[in-house]
Amino acid sequence: MRILITGGAGFIGSHIVDHYVAAGDEVIVIDSLITGCKDNIADHLRSGNIKFIERDVCRFDTIADEIDVIMHLASPASPFDYLRYPIETMRTLSLGTYNMLELSRQKSAKFLLASTSEVYGDPEEHPQKEDYWGNVNPVGPRAVYDEGKRFAEALTAAYSREHNVETTIVRIFNTYGERMKEEDGRVIPTFINQALKNEPLTIFGDGKQTRSFCYISDMVDALAGSVKIKYGHPINVGNPKEYTMLEVADIVKKLCLSTSGLEFLPLPENDPKRRKPDISKAQEVLGWTPKVDLNAGLIRTIEWFRRKDD
Ligand code: NAD
């Protein structure tokens, strides 16, 4: 199989690249490196296992190679990144997604959209099921990402209806693991790096808001499984076990053997209070359930951050 992965030099994308290279598939990566990094795929670049195209998906139209599958992950993903690159994020999710859907149509390739739990916004239903339409402020600062992904989903659904492109939309919930950037602003890498330096862990609001965290190997299994099935509707993928930020801070501090205290800061605008996937659809159509619990995933992630700075 020949698979094109946009955003393949990013956190999740690079683990997907590892997966398909290990399976003996032909991998092409398109990445502008706006938030990703060549180090994430350095082994494959050295061994010539993959074809790497450094390019913005907004400026990409076609390629000579035949393609069986396009996994479209390109997009700034952390709030820190999409607030720093608001227009680039909206261009990528609109024009970039259009270009990749056109390429899927040309090549008769299956198209997978890496969507997000952010399409649910600050949800009024809990846990979130795929048929919940969300609660998003269309003009708030986070809208560049939330509405951008909602547009990308709508465009993907339109290509499926109008052009019979075989599509899958996966709504990814918080995922963590090795290769996250220390400065990316998401809670797990932030807490780990603060704890390893014995600096105060930053808590926004009172720390009672909840999130659920999926370890990267479980996410790779779910995304690779989603490519194999024919299912045109969105699928939630994430770990449903819910933790408050205070609980996560406590676990990270213990695992890092840290003496850090806590620092409380105001909650950012439109920050969701609760986020937890209902994964019954993924269990039914993918036969998938996350296997790695937070403790085990954090031990591996902390070990990676420790070694990185050696
Ligand atoms: P990341 O920032 O590490 O990776 C994104 C990659 O896309 C980077 O390598 C970046 O350089 C590339 N990219 C961005 N815009 C591009 C463009 N216009 N052209 C080409 N390349 C471009 O983020 P990630 O956490 O690995 O997220 C990957 C995908 O998964 C994103 O689409 C994101 O929205 C989605 N997602 C991630 C999470 C999570 O918890 N990590 C949660 C929900 C959704």
pLDDT tens-digit map of 64-96: 999 999 999 999 999 999 999 999 999 999 999
Q: Is the CB of 76 under 6 A from ligand 1?
A: yes
Cβ 106 vs Cβ 164: under 8 Å: no
Pairing mode of beta strands 242-244, 210-212: antiparallel
* Residue corresponding to tokens 């009172």: 206
Tens-digit pLDDT profile for residues 171-211: 999 999 999 998 888 999 999 999 999 999 999 999 999 89
Q: Helices 216-228 and 11-22, interaxial angle, to 10°? A: 60
Q: Which helix (H) or strand (E) holds 266?
A: none
Give me ligand 1 centre to Cα 77, in Å.
5
Q: Is the CB of 73 under 6 A from ligand 1?
A: yes
* Residue corresponding to tokens 């032909």: 26
Give me ligand 1 centre to Cα 36, in Å.
8
CA 304/CA 255 separation, integer angstroms:
13
Nearest partner of 73 among 187, 195, 211, 216, judged by Cα = 216
Q: Is the dihedral of CA 256, 257, 263, 264 positive or negative?
A: positive
CA 294/CA 297 separation, integer angstroms:
5
Nearest partner of 228 among 91, 112, 114, 120, judged by Cα = 112
Q: Is the CB of 8 under 6 A from ligand 1?
A: no
What SS3 class is residue 212? strand
CA of 40, closest atom in ligand 1: 9
CA 61/CA 157 separation, integer angstroms:
20
Give me ligand 1 centre to Cα 259, in Å.
33
Q: Which of 4, 11, 37 to mutate to test the pocket of ligand 1 (most atoms within 8 A of CB)?
A: 11
Give me ligand 1 centre to Cα 72, in Å.
9
The reply to whether 243 belongs to the active site is: no
Give me the CATH code for the 2-176+214-240+276-291 domain, please: 3.40.50.720
Tens-digit pLDDT profile for residues 4-28: 999 999 999 999 999 999 999 999 9
Which region, left, alpha or beta, applies to residue 98 given φ > 0 means left and ψ of -120 to 50 means alpha? alpha
The domain segmentation of the chain, as residue ranges, is: 2-176+214-240+276-291
CA of 186, closest atom in ligand 1: 40
CB atoms < 10 A from the CB of 141, how many? 15
Tens-digit pLDDT profile for residues 122-175: 889 989 999 999 999 999 999 999 999 999 999 999 999 999 999 999 999 999
Of the listed 82, 85, 120, 145, which one is catalytic?
A: 145
**Confidence (pTM):** 0.97
Q: Is the CB of 13 under 6 A from ligand 1?
A: yes
Q: Whose CA is nearest to atom 14 of ligand 1?
A: 75
